Amino acid sequence: MNTLYNESKKLGKVILITPMQGIYVHGILNTRRTLSWFDIVDNSKMTAKYLLSLSLSAEELHHIQPDPHLWVQTGKVTGADVEALQSWPLHPIDHFKMDIGEFLLQRYPVRILKSLGISYDYLIDKLGMNFCTLGMFGYTWKDWVDLGLTGDHVQMMTQKQVGALFNIPCDNHAIHTAIAKITAYRPQPV
C-alpha cells in the first residue's frame, strides 16, 4: 500500500451514527454505531457523496477528517462535491488543481464562487481566463458584478469583449446600457 493511504488512515476523529446509517456503512451483521476516517479510507464506496446521501452532514464529515487535501488525495471527494461541502471550504483550484475546462464544466453558482473567494479578478489574473471563456459561464451582468466586476472594468473592454462576456450584441447601445446598469448596481453580500 502507498504511504499516503497508510498515513491518512491514522488521522481524523470518530463520530456517532444512527443504527440505520451503521447498516449502510458497516453492513447488516456489524452493529457498530461509529464512523471514522479509517472506515472511510478502507471502503471504496465511502465517498463524500455516498456519506451525504446517508444524511450525514458536511460538518460531520469535516469533523471526521478536517484536511480537505486528504479527502482529495484518497479520492473521497470530487470537484462535483464542492457545492455540497462549501462549509469546509473545498476549493476547486487549490484542492483539485482544475484547469479552465474542468472548472467551466462544473457550472458553479456565483454564490459558491463568492464563498470561496473566487472573484472576477481571480478568474482573469489567477486562472488566465479571457472574455470568451468567462462568457461560457453564462452569468448575467449582475452575477459578474457580484463577483467584483466594476464599471471601470467594462469601460476598458472593447465592444467585442463586452459582448462575449455578457452574451449580448456588440453595439454601442448595448454596451452603454451594460455600463450604466453595472455602475448603478450594488452587489449583494455573501
What would the pLDDT profile of 63-83 be if each residue is shown by its tens digit? 999 999 999 999 999 999 999
Report which residue type is found at 49. K
Q: Using CA atoms, how far apart are residues 72 and 82, in angstroms rounded to an integer?
A: 11
Cβ neighbours of residue 119 under 8 Å, at least 6 residues apart? Answer: 113, 147, 148
pTM, entire model: 0.75
| Measured distance CA(73)–CA(95) in Å, rounded | 9
Mean pLDDT of 26-38: 91
Q: Is the distance from CB of 24 to CB of 32 less than 8 angstroms?
A: no
